Structure 1
């Protein structure tokens, strides 16, 4: 019986009852307090790198030679091209984009299996821009206490001026966010000049307006509501996690029972249990979603680690060990209570599977890029009529061919057909070289569509015969092949 109070004091925080936690809680205004520490520093570094890449990447140049844009990353919707440094993706190669999405999903799953909602806390655009908006707000209106005080006061000229300045900067950030996005769809320096002189296409102004409004609204006003109610990832993440995934955890085996520093000292001298948590509520004050991490894992928590920095700062001041809140697991907390060794298994079947799939998809995509051809040939048989019998008894089939030249200079090709002995190939409107072979000229980074006639003698095989069309680059010898059928009575 002597251990009952101790066991009770080390029990995990009880979940709130249905009466205490209704399905929907009216929004309360959250005023996150500024904090310093290693996780806050990591977030600042990630923010600077992420925004730097997003805002300035469209201005990086990449020389692809003549007849090609020199913007490093460009989504050329008008010509159906996606340029990524030395890679050029055509519309029929959309499987590369599918591979990137699959790769991104697997990386997200691996991050979740290792350390919970790392994406939400550090890399999510909503988190990044909200952090930036909070920084502007603190710079102009002050930290948590000042903002809470001003929210209760009547507006003065000073408060009005601060709010006008804050919202003006927010709108400028949101405007540049929308402006940077449209720069990925056109030559950035040219579009900036056209936007400044009001000569840009109307669609550019429309999308800048839409993205300005959404950024200003989501990062300036909705903030944690986006993470709690709009984003599906917290629900998906909960289904993908397991007991070994590290999460921001309140180590209640150390923290309970809570009490002031003086009260804890008195209890320790009396040999009674006393936790390290002094109930200063700094972990709640710095949380951008207003979560009390001491209640355990919650849907609202984005695992940003700011409560760790706040708690470590308090522990340092009172002379207690840091790490009362840390990346840990409830399983380890229970193990420490029971006197068992901690278990940390980052490498386990789940993470090995995700890492293996990431490697596999990455290797497949790299191999596909390495082996991709710079010419492409597609053949489509005419449906009506399927074949024609000529006056001399021979059989003719008609086809539509499409040749894609992915080189950045004009190329000349020859076209041949195999699989039907004695067959004659004619290209409607095509050139014939001195050897009697049809020649196709295709412009740089273009496609050419032409009609092709294949004629076989009257004694051609009946029904259907497999044909192979062979396109050969006269300069490099590179070939592309396509299969179809020759129809006969």
Structure 2
């Protein structure tokens, strides 16, 4: 049985050996090339493109409606996502979306561990971008380590200044793009540049700028290891059959140089393929040594796989010493058994069906929802009033929602109470509601019934004949609440 190592300390992996030479416990990863690095670049480009471009995509909704495809409109109290419009009263859709996202994360964990952390997490994406700038200005790992302990020169100060200037520009772009999701993007962008935007907009740009600059520029692996809650949850839901980055120690141990391994093999003694070059540790953005076994801090980015494969290729040894592999197959390797990959198993199938079912329910609910709604709230004080003619009157607050683009007339009626009459205070029983708006009405219902009964309020669209309804209770004077 395998357990995740939860005693991770950055210095254990890269400060214990002086030849790695980091300063102030900072992880200084080395650049690497390979298929997983290319996948990470593709994911970075896709994520940044979506983040920066989406606010400028237009979507026609009709006269008087915003034409921004994705918009959190606090002024109207709406969330627009292309053809979907969510009202504040429909927050359950957002709740469903969060549950769906959680299920997808758990399903991904069952399939490939923290692969989302290694490729699509915002912290990973912006950290990769900041590291790219750092390497472009200061050089790769070896050059950066030398410069960290060297005296400051004019050229070194220029390098530091250029790096931080580019970081700040990227961070400002991140904060600026974020606020564009909450107002018309082209208009707000012009206002931000010309100094005409609101104080609140500049405040949020400042907050996102500072957090991006700090987390991607300085915190980096500390965020993934200590600030993010997902590594702790990983230990609880870790799946030994998930394809996570693992070291095939049954093939790599005992470690030794090429010359030493050749001597051991010549003498008939066991020798592993690992030459202890530390390339897997040097390229790791978290600074861990995957050869020590599964570690909760590993983000499953696969960069150590690329580094190890490149070394194995140069040594003309089989690739895959470090690879995406299930822990159960590592154990099978120790027993000299062939590997088995079970991507389709009860856990992944169950989670997949749950995701499909929840997404289907939400989709059907969205497609079938009405563009009108009615809510009813009974008066609390007084609950009921006896009229001079002996009838009992209850008061209600009725709110009509018109989600359509045009003004609509609704006819209010009540059912369930024999002989009941309805009075809309200050208006007729047929009321108009402006487009994409709500209207609150004071409604009085009078009847001669003497017992507590359910009452249904209906609002019928005069033009289309479609109706929406809501139920409440009619309370007699004697019954109270």
TM-score with structure 1 setting the length: 0.92
Aligned partner of residue 283 in structure 1, secondary structure: helix
Q: Which moved more, 1:289-298 or 1:317-326?
A: 289-298
| Runs (5+) with no aligned partner, structure 1 | 1-11, 432-437
Distance in 1 between residues matched to 2:52 and 2:371, nearest whole Å: 32
Following TM superposition, by how much is the alpha carbon of 1:19 offset from its aligned partner in structure 2, in angstroms? 12
1:445 aligned to 2:459? no
Distance in 1 between residues matched to 2:361 and 2:6, nearest whole Å: 48
Partner of 2:267: 270
Contact 1:67 1:409 in 2 (8 A): no
Partner of 1:327: 324
Partner of 1:474: 462
1:486 aligned to 2:477? no
1:176 aligned to 2:173? yes
Partner of 1:461: 449
Distance in 2 between residues matched to 1:440 and 1:287, nearest whole Å: 66
Distance in 2 between residues matched to 1:283 and 1:440, nearest whole Å: 71
Contact 1:13 1:295 in 2 (8 A): no
TM-score with structure 2 setting the length: 0.93
Report matched runs for 1:224-303 at 5 Å: 224-303=221-300
Following TM superposition, by how much is the alpha carbon of 1:13 offset from its aligned partner in structure 2, in angstroms? 13
Following TM superposition, by how much is the alpha carbon of 1:267 offset from its aligned partner in structure 2, in angstroms? 2.2
Distance in 2 between residues matched to 1:14 and 1:107, nearest whole Å: 22
Report matched runs for 1:48-67 at 5 Å: 48-67=45-64
Counterpart pick for 1:109 among 99, 106, 111: 106
Partner of 2:19: none
Contact 2:109 2:239 in 1 (8 A): no
Q: 1:359 to 1:468 in 2, by over 3 A?
A: same
Q: 1:484 to 1:330 in 2, by over 3 A?
A: closer
Partner of 1:148: 145
Contact 1:67 1:444 in 2 (8 A): no
Following TM superposition, by how much is the alpha carbon of 1:469 offset from its aligned partner in structure 2, in angstroms? 1.0
Q: 1:193 to 1:103 in 2, by over 3 A?
A: same
Partner of 1:360: 357
Partner of 1:3: none
CA RMSD of aligned residues (A): 2.2
Distance in 1 between residues matched to 2:5 and 2:42, nearest whole Å: 35
Partner of 2:20: none
Partner of 1:128: 125
Q: Deviations over 1:90-130 (max 9, x none)?
A: 11100000000000000000111111111111111111100
Partner of 1:203: 200
Contact 1:34 1:286 in 2 (8 A): yes
Aligned partner of residue 407 in structure 1, secondary structure: coil
Following TM superposition, by how much is the alpha carbon of 1:486 offset from its aligned partner in structure 2, in angstroms? 2.2
Q: Deviations over 1:340-368 (max 9, x none)?
A: 23222121121122112111211110111
Distance in 2 between residues matched to 1:462 and 1:46, nearest whole Å: 68
Counterpart pick for 2:32 among 25, 32, 35: 35
1:413 aligned to 2:404? no
Following TM superposition, by how much is the alpha carbon of 1:266 offset from its aligned partner in structure 2, in angstroms? 2.5
Counterpart pick for 1:167 among 158, 164, 171: 164
Q: Deviations over 1:138-189 (max 9, x none)?
A: 0111111111111121111111111101000000000110111111111111
Following TM superposition, by how much is the alpha carbon of 1:288 offset from its aligned partner in structure 2, in angstroms? 0.7
Distance in 2 between residues matched to 1:389 and 1:284, nearest whole Å: 82
Aligned residues: 467
Aligned partner of residue 94 in structure 1, secondary structure: helix
Distance in 1 between residues matched to 2:280 and 2:334, nearest whole Å: 23
Contact 1:382 1:399 in 2 (8 A): yes
Q: Which moved more, 1:447-456 or 1:389-398?
A: 389-398
Distance in 1 between residues matched to 2:380 and 2:113, nearest whole Å: 56
